[in-house]
Amino acid sequence: MLMNTEVAMSTLHRIASLRLHRIASIARQVPTGLLLYSLAVMAINPLTLGPAAHGQNTQTPQPAQTIPDSGGPGGDNGVIAVPKKKEAPEDVPPPAPAPAAPKVKNPEGLGNVSLRLDVPEVTVDVGVLLEKTHQFVPGLKPDNFRVYEDGVEQKLIGFKRVEAPITALLLCEFAANSYYFIYDMKNAAWAFAQQLRPQDYVAMMTFDMNTQIITDFTQDKRQILAGIESLRMPGFRETNVFDALNEGLDRLQRVEGRKYIILISSGRDTFSKLTFDKILKTVRASQDITIFTVSTGGMVRVMTEDRGGMRGAEREMDYLQADNEMKAFSGATGGMSFFPRFEGEMPDIFQNINETIRSKYELVYRPSNAKQDGTYRKLRVELVDAEGQPLRFQDEKKKPLKYDIITRDGYKAKQEVE
């Protein structure tokens, strides 16, 4: 009986040694957390190595544990909780598939094509002055303006009142003809310079047969006054107005922004290379340039009007033609023409010019005729009231006031570059 007990204990220790050896082998392949758990169970009941430790012969069959070849724990034997899949309601249709992206194909033989649209815009400066007092009319709204291009009404896309410093070229006739013409020119130039403001840029150029730059662009009106005082000895008798105006336009085209030419002259052209038609075409094609003209020699013309004879009639026709040419230059660019006869008129004339230059309405539209063919387009501006009728003004006594709309008569469309 003792032998059986010793044999049993010896067998039991042998089995325990084998199991411990197997546990150690598995421990090298299992995670640390599972190993600690197994050791904790053995620490609670170290003799619980199987049913044989209690002398029990019955064994509960356990499912086989298969260790993966790569090591690690075997398959799970417990219950796995799987969340129940939520079933969609039967009355809800499945979502529609996303539409396929449209496929655009170019025609055969045509590669990728890029389209560039250049939509032109036209800016029109408009001055509204009372005919009697030459005062600027403020307070007008976009609905008060109607702009027509070649007789077709245009839709305004921009509107504002402009009041800004000026950039001007003082173009003066200084030729060896009558002293009265020179005297009027110097008085007119002086009256203009006196009304300049510190922010204005002004240059001065004189002409007879040729042109001379007296003062380049400056903000110091003292330089302009000094330039006027320096005009003492005229040169040639010729008065080439057309050539001088053409040179002035060419110089101002290089200056950005809105520019003005103050042409002080008798208007008579005697020896220019350009004809009137050519210079008028150049004037109309100019961009952002407005011309104001002031005639000289008015007193001499009044004094010699009654002199008869062929020579007197011919001279009078020359002056009338000169007046019309001066009006054409100013009218084509939205300026004004003045024909003073007395020295005392000069300050009021240049006050009107300053007010007209500094206070304007700026209208912007996209022409309905978008062709860039270089053609000349006629412009016309009207003022209307809320009901579309011609706008009327009244003074304090409810008497009607006439007004002038100062704007250029047209513009030259851009030429498309091939």
Q: 280: closest CA among 242, 254, 310, 314?
A: 242
Average model confidence (pLDDT) across the chain: 80
Q: Could you tell me the pLDDT band of residue 13, with boundaries at 50, 70 and 90?
A: low
Residue 187 CA to residue 146 CA, distance in Å, equals 39
392 Cβ contact list (under 8 Å, min separation 6) = 385, 400
CB 219 within 8 A of CB 190: no
- Local structure of residue 351 (DSSP, 8 states): H
CA 195 to each of CA 68, 261, 276, 378: distance values in angstroms, whole numbers, following the listed order: 105, 15, 32, 34
What confidence score (pLDDT) does residue 43 get? 47
pLDDT at 72: 43
- The C-alpha angle with vertex 8 and arms to 7 and 13, in degrees rounded to 5, equals 100
Q: Which residue has the higher pLDDT, 55 or 251?
A: 251
Say what the pLDDT of residue 73 is: 47
With H, G, I as helix, E, B as strand and everything else as coil, classify residue 182. helix
The pLDDT value recorded for residue 113 is: 56
What do you get for the CA distance between the two ends of the chain, in Å? 124
Q: What confidence tens digit (pLDDT) does each residue in 206-261 have?
A: 999 999 999 999 999 999 999 999 998 888 999 999 999 999 999 998 888 889 99
Angle ∠(122,127,131) on CA atoms, nearest 5:
150
* Proportion of the chain above pLDDT 70, given as a percent: 70
Beta strands in 174-324 (DSSP E): 201-207, 211-218, 259-265, 289-295
Dist. CA 291–CA 331, nearest whole Å:
8
In terms of DSSP H, where are the helices of 57-108? Answer: none
The pLDDT of residue 301 is 83
Q: What's the pLDDT at 152? A: 96
Residue 358: what pLDDT? 86
pLDDT tens figures, 133-165: 777 888 999 999 999 999 999 999 999 998 878
Backbone CA torsion sign across 355, 356, 361, 364: negative
Give 232's DSSP letter: -
Quote the pLDDT of residue 48.
44
Distance CA 170, CA 270 (A): 21
Largest CA distance in the chain: 177
Distance separating alpha carbons of residues 355 and 196, to the nearest angstrom: 11
Give the tens place of pLDDT for each residue, 15-46.
555 555 565 555 555 555 444 445 444 544 44
Fold classified for 165-357: Rossmann fold (3.40.50)
The secondary structure of residue 373, as a DSSP letter, is B
What is the dotted CATH code of the domain comprising 121-163+359-418?
2.60.40
Helix (H) or strand (E) holding 361: strand 360-365
Neighbours of 240 (CB within 10 A): 23
Q: Quick one: pLDDT at residue 162? A: 83
Return the number of other C-beta atoms located less than 10 Å from residue 241's C-beta: 28
Q: Where are the beta strands (DSSP E) in 119-274?
A: 122-130, 145-149, 152-154, 156-162, 167-173, 201-207, 211-218, 259-265
Among 357, 289, 296, 349, smallest CA distance to 322 is for: 296
**Mean predicted confidence (pLDDT) in 276-286:** 94
Q: What is the mean pLDDT of residues 352-367?
A: 90
Average pLDDT over residues 394-413: 89
Packing angle between helix 221-229 and helix 179-194, nearest 10 degrees?
170
Q: Residue type for 379, please? A: L
In the predicted model, is pLDDT for residue 311 greater than 90? no
Reply yes or no on whether the pLDDT at 168 is more than 60.
Answer: yes
Q: What is the pLDDT of residues 57-98, one digit of tens each?
A: 444 444 445 544 444 444 444 444 545 555 555 565 666 776
Confidence of residue 102 (pLDDT cuts 50, 70, 90): low
Residue ranges covered by each domain of the chain: 121-163+359-418, 165-357
